[in-house]
């Protein structure tokens, strides 16, 4: 049976004639979930979210309800909610849709979350490049305040919460939650070390802070609309709700596909929904969940045992689209931003492109990441364009191994993982590229670096 | 970066409306220093870049040293300390767009806009840059011009696209309004 979409987050924004104003949102059932939420005690809202099994949509997939539980409520300091709308992971473009086309859905989730954690104030940290997105959200906030959904005395509950839009400055590392907090405090976005700076304890202004992804906020709205137990029935046990797959690169129909967790496979996503490879080409590899997730090669076999004891033996096309199955194959669902690479590309070109990205985006705070990312970029570039040596292939791995696990934030892993996962799988092809350049054979026409 | 001739001229004063907006921006935050980035965006939207005097102004408003504002300006790629062309053309370089031809697009735009990447055209009309992922990966190659995204700009259409951009120079409303169906930045 071909895969089908189940739009939940994108249900409204895909309707013809759907607009960003609050009247349109209200006509489509808007802010009803917030009414349900404020009729409950904040703790009861937290319980619903915990019961729903919702996992964060920012890439790490941490259970949202559990994150909220970690909030330090004993310190007596005010709590803050920070929404991460700094969508910057290469291959990821799902939050932009919500912000530009259905901003109130996200704001409703923010109001519910702020109530649940009794936040003193909420901030939306949005990409600096989303100039219009920020304006759309500002207008939506003003509309919501005028109707009593945000601001003073929300829906007569006595609870007040202002939401502030904060535009970033085009910096990838500010998508890391502690880097984002530093940036929100008006500093360079240097990530903080954990411990002690776990945001739930020492976050914004050293106060307890919950940092949640923009789409997670939209999902929270649906958790309250369905009720936690009903929401948990969408998807599969351990991964509830829908995942938005943003497919890009070399397929016939790149685009955003919202699928119930675990209810389709990579094969169905790539070949049915996206129409398969371009004419005359073959898909060679995919990066499943944003550029920092480990690469999967077409033709590999994935064998092992799931947490529930089920044994599996899959080809790439068989992998179910849920976070546990994908993690069992040695990579991650991440943000669902799948980048597709076909046989017109030499794999070292793709790696070079990503290495250049990480070298550009390292904040420079930790030596292994600052130096390692630059060297990875230089070495992979010379393999691609000429001047590479056979010893460069193990050198790439050696450098990556000295970065991962040795930095303050996960940017170190983001630098290392593409290399650490790709070198063992594509070593022979890299060596072939080196030999081709040595013989004077040109780089493929599609330039990636 | 290629400096346009006006960079040696003394910077004009900030507009009165820029000055009057500052207190409300600062008041949104529990701590004044948080207003550093929005104030820098405000300044840059006013005159196109940020001067040392601007940094001193922001520093005084938020209660830090000018050096602490300079640290911010130099960390974030979006802030500039020198003027750029009338249109800021940013082509996405990262993998999803590159797989759809953004390198060839860049080469063609260098020809059509008469300037190299990282530089401003001699007539001061365009500054052309490669940037990293701008979150519109399914519509690659994408080009971010001032505040607007242009999607699916194929390398072979670079000439046509450049002509479109040249026409926008005469359109004072270009990029001022948020996208609606049928306009750039909508498919995303």
**pLDDT tens-digit map of A421-445:** 999 999 999 999 999 999 999 999 9
Tell me the pLDDT of chain B averaged across its residues: 92
Yes or no: say if A18 and A102 are a contact pair by the CB < 8 Å rule. yes
- Helical packing angle, B52-62 and B36-47, nearest 10°: 150
pLDDT for B178: 81
Q: Which residues of A touch B77 (CB under 8 A)?
A: 169-171
Q: Do B104 and B70 share a structural domain? A: no
**CB nearest B103 (choices: A129, A187, A448):** A448
**CB nearest B95 (choices: A132, A168, A354):** A354
Kindly state the average pLDDT of the residues A309-319.
96
Residue B115 lies in a domain: yes
pLDDT band for position B3 (50/70/90)? very low
Burial class of residue A148 in the structure, from the number of CB atoms within 10 Å of its CB (0-12 exposed, 13-18 middle, 19+ buried): middle
Yes or no: say if A125 and A110 are a contact pair by the CB < 8 Å rule. no
Report whether pLDDT(A286) > 80: yes
Q: Do B114 and B45 share a structural domain? A: no
Residue B145 lies in a domain: yes
Report whether pLDDT(A1) > 70: no
CA distance A349 to chain B (A): 9
Size of interface A-B (CB pairs under 8 A): 173
Kindly state the average pLDDT of the residues A208-226.
98
Tell me the pLDDT of chain A averaged across its residues: 97
Residue B182 lies in a domain: no
The contacts of residue B147 (CB under 8 Å, 6+ apart) are: A131, A132, B175, B176
Query: What is the Cα–Cα distance from B151 to B148, expressed in whole angstroms?
Result: 10
**CB nearest A170 (choices: B29, B38, B78):** B78
Q: Do B142 and B117 share a structural domain? A: yes
pLDDT for B123: 96
Report whether pLDDT(B81) > 80: yes
Yes or no: say if A319 and A72 are a contact pair by the CB < 8 Å rule. no
Query: What is the Cα–Cα distance from B74 to A167, expressed in whole angstroms?
Result: 16
Q: Do B48 and B104 share a structural domain? A: no
CB contact B63 to A (< 8 Å): no
Nearest CA in chain B to A90: B133
Yes or no: say if B58 and B39 are a contact pair by the CB < 8 Å rule. yes
Which one of A248, A281, A287, A443 makes the best mutation probe of the B interface by having the most chain B beta carbons within 10 Å? A248
Yes or no: say if A110 and A145 are a contact pair by the CB < 8 Å rule. no
Which one of B79, B99, B156 makes the best mutation probe of the A interface by having the most chain A beta carbons within 10 Å? B99
The contacts of residue B7 (CB under 8 Å, 6+ apart) are: B82, B83
**Which two three-digit tokens encode residue A372?**
């390692």
Residue B62 lies in a domain: yes
pLDDT for B2: 42
* % pLDDT > 70, chain A: 100
**A240-266 confidence digits (pLDDT tens):** 999 999 999 999 999 999 999 999 999
Burial class of residue A428 in the structure, from the number of CB atoms within 10 Å of its CB (0-12 exposed, 13-18 middle, 19+ buried): exposed
pLDDT band for position B184 (50/70/90)? low
Report whether pLDDT(B188) > 60: no
Spans of all domains in chain A:
22-233, 243-342, 347-438
Q: Do B39 and B104 share a structural domain? A: no
**CB nearest A353 (choices: B94, B101, B179):** B94
CA distance A162 to chain B (A): 9
Phi, psi of A113 (to 5 degrees): -65, -45
- Look at B137 and A96 and tell me if their CB atoms are within 8 Å: no
Number of domains in chain B: 2
Report whether pLDDT(A223) > 70: yes
Chain position carrying tokens 């390692």? A372
Yes or no: say if A357 and B132 are a contact pair by the CB < 8 Å rule. yes
pLDDT for B6: 44
**A5-31 confidence digits (pLDDT tens):** 999 999 999 999 999 999 999 999 999
Residue B4 lies in a domain: no
Domain with B158, as residue range(s), is 87-168
For domain A22-233, give the CATH number. Answer: 3.40.50.11540
pLDDT band for position B5 (50/70/90)? very low
Q: With the C-alpha atoms ordered A23, A25, A29, A30, is the resulting torsion angle positive or negative?
A: negative
pLDDT band for position B180 (50/70/90)? confident
Phi, psi of B173 (to 5 degrees): -90, 0
pLDDT for B187: 63
Buried b (16+ CB within 10 A) or exposed e, A42-75: beebbbbbbbbbbbbbbbebebbbebbeebbeee
User: CA angle A292-A295-A300, nearest 5°?
Assistant: 160
CATH of A347-438 among 1.10.357.10, 3.30.300.30, 1.10.10.10, 1.20.1440.230: 1.20.1440.230
The 8-class DSSP code of residue A176 comes to S
Q: Do B161 and B105 share a structural domain? A: yes
**A102-132 confidence digits (pLDDT tens):** 999 999 999 999 999 999 999 999 999 999 9
Kindly state the average pLDDT of the residues A204-230.
98
Number of CB atoms found within 10 A of residue A156's CB: 8
Residue B37's CATH number: 1.10.10.1590
- Considering only CA atoms, which of A106, A110, A89, A246 is closest in space to residue A174? A89
- Look at A169 and B36 and tell me if their CB atoms are within 8 Å: no
Yes or no: say if A240 and A53 are a contact pair by the CB < 8 Å rule. yes
Q: Which residues of B touch A128 (CB under 8 A)?
A: 41, 76, 78
Q: Strands A121-126 and A80-85: what pairing? A: parallel
Kindly state the average pLDDT of the residues B92-120.
98
pLDDT for B175: 86
CATH fold of A243-342:
Ubiquitin-like (UB roll) (3.10.20)
- What are the angstrom distances between the C-alpha of B137 and each of A247, A340, B100, B178? 8, 11, 10, 19
Report whether pLDDT(A395) > 90: yes
- Look at B64 and A186 and tell me if their CB atoms are within 8 Å: yes
Chain position carrying tokens 């820098």? B40
Residue B128 lies in a domain: yes
Residue B116 lies in a domain: yes
CB contact B60 to A (< 8 Å): no
**A328-342 confidence digits (pLDDT tens):** 999 999 999 999 999
Residue B153 lies in a domain: yes
Element housing A243 (H / E): strand A242-249
Extended beta strands in A12-133, E state: 80-85, 121-126
Kindly state the average pLDDT of the residues B140-157.
95
Report whether pLDDT(B113) > 90: yes
ipTM passes above 0.90: yes
pLDDT for B4: 41
């Amino acid at each position: 049976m071909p895969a089908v979409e189940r739009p939940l987050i994108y249900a409204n924004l895909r309707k013809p004639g759907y607009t960003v104003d609050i009247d349109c949102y209200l006509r489509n059932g808007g802010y009803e979930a917030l009414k349900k939420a404020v009729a409950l005690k904040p703790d009861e809202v937290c319980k619903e979210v915990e019961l729903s099994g919702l996992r964060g949509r920012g890439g790490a997939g941490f259970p949202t309800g559990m994150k909220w539980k970690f909030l330090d409520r004993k310190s007596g300091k005010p709590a803050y909610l920070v929404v991460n709308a700094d969508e910057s992971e290469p291959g990821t473009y799902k939050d932009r849709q919500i912000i530009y086309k259905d901003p109130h859905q996200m704001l409703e989730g923010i109001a519910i979350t702020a109530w649940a954690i009794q936040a003193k104030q909420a901030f939306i940290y949005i990409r600096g490049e989303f100039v219009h997105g920020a304006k759309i959200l500002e207008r939506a906030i003003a509309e919501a305040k005028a109707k009593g959904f945000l601001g003073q005395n929300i829906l007569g509950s006595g609870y007040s919460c202002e939401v502030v839009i904060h535009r970033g400055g085009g910096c990838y590392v500010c998508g890391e939650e502690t880097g984002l907090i530093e940036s929100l405090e008006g500093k360079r976005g240097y990530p903080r070390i954990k411990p002690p700076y776990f945001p739930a304890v020492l976050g914004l202004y050293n106060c307890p802070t919950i940092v949640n992804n923009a789409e997670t906020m939209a999902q929270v709205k649906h958790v309250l609309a369905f009720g936690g137990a009903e929401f948990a029935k969408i998807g599969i046990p351990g991964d509830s709700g829908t995942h938005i797959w943003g497919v890009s690169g070399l397929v016939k129909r790149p685009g955003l596909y919202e699928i119930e967790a675990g209810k389709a496979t990579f094969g169905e996503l790539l070949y049915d929904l996206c129409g398969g490879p371009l004419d005359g080409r073959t898909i060679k590899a995919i990066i499943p969940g944003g550029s920092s997730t480990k690469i999967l090669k077409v033709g590999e076999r994935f064998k092992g045992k799931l947490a529930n004891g089920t044994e599996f033996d899959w080809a790439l096309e068989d992998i179910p689209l849920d976070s546990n199955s994908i993690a069992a194959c040695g990579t991650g669902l991440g943000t669902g931003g799948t980048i597709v690479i076909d046989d017109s590309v030499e794999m070292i070109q793709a790696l070079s492109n990503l290495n250049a990205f990480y070298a550009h985006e390292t904040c420079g705070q930790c030596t292994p990441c600052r130096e390692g990312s630059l060297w990875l970029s230089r070495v992979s570039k010379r393999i691609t364009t000429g001047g590479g040596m056979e010893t460069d292939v193990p050198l790439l791995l050696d450098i990556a191994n000295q970065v991962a696990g040795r930095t303050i934030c996960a940017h170190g892993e983001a630098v290392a993982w593409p290399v650490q996962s790709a070198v063992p799988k594509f070593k022979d092809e890299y060596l072939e590229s080196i030999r081709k350049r040595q013989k004077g054979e040109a780089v493929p026409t599609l330039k990636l670096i | 970066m290629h400096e346009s001739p006006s960079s040696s001229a003394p910077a004009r004063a900030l507009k009165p409306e820029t000055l009057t907006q500052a207190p409300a921006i600062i008041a949104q935050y529990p701590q004044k220093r948080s207003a550093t980035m929005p104030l820098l965006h405000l300044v840059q939207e006013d005159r196109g870049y940020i001067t040392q005097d601007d940094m001193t102004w922001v520093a005084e408003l938020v209660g830090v040293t000018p050096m602490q504002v300079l640290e911010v300006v130099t960390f974030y790629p979006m802030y500039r300390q020198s003027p750029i062309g009338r249109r800021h053309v940013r082509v996405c370089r990262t993998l999803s767009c590159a797989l759809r031809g953004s390198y060839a697009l860049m080469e063609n735009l260098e020809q059509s806009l008469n300037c190299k990447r990282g530089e401003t055209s001699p007539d001061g009309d365009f500054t052309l840059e490669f940037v990293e992922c701008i979150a519109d990966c399914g519509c690659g190659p994408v080009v971010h011009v001032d505040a607007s995204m242009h999607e699916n700009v194929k390398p072979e259409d670079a000439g046509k696209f450049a002509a479109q951009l040249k026409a926008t120079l005469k359109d004072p409303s270009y990029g001022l309004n948020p996208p609606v169906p049928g306009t750039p930045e909508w498919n995303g």
